Amino acid sequence: MPRGKAMEIEYTDAEVIANFPEVMQHVRAGKTIVVLCDGEPWAEIRLAKDKKVPGETRAEYLERTGQLMPSKERWNPPPGVRVEGGLDRFLEERGSWKAPM
């Protein structure tokens, strides 16, 4: 492994989820991960924010980037798994982002 100045590698959220799933539970977009080799910094991985594709809905974007599970899994989790997001579900069913009167 090279010594000296750390090289910087940029990944999008989706790439990090695919390649480093154990990292994503601790780090979010906009943060930097320092990779150590023999206790010394070797590489820095910066998590860039994924850009929304034109014509893509917000839900599709969130699902593609791993920020949102597919709706079937989200609302029907396996036994013993607790899923947060009651407000999202309420708004999704209502079809409105406005609070109830």
Q: What mean pLDDT comes out for the span 73-80?
A: 51
Cβ contact 29:13 at 8 Å = yes
Residue showing tokens 């850009």: 51
With a cut of 60, say whether residue 60 has pLDDT above it.
Answer: yes
With a cut of 70, say whether residue 57 has pLDDT above it.
Answer: yes
Q: What mean pLDDT comes out for the span 43-55?
A: 65
pLDDT of residue 75: 47
- Backbone torsions φ then ψ of 46, nearest 5 degrees: -100, 130
What residues are paired with 36 via a beta bridge?
41
Cβ contact 59:23 at 8 Å = no
What is the distance between the alpha carbons of residues 45 and 66, in angstroms, rounded to a whole number? 18
Q: What mean pLDDT comes out for the span 66-91?
A: 53
Model pTM? 0.26
Q: Which residue has the higher pLDDT, 39 or 77?
A: 39
List the chain domain ranges.
1-50, 52-94
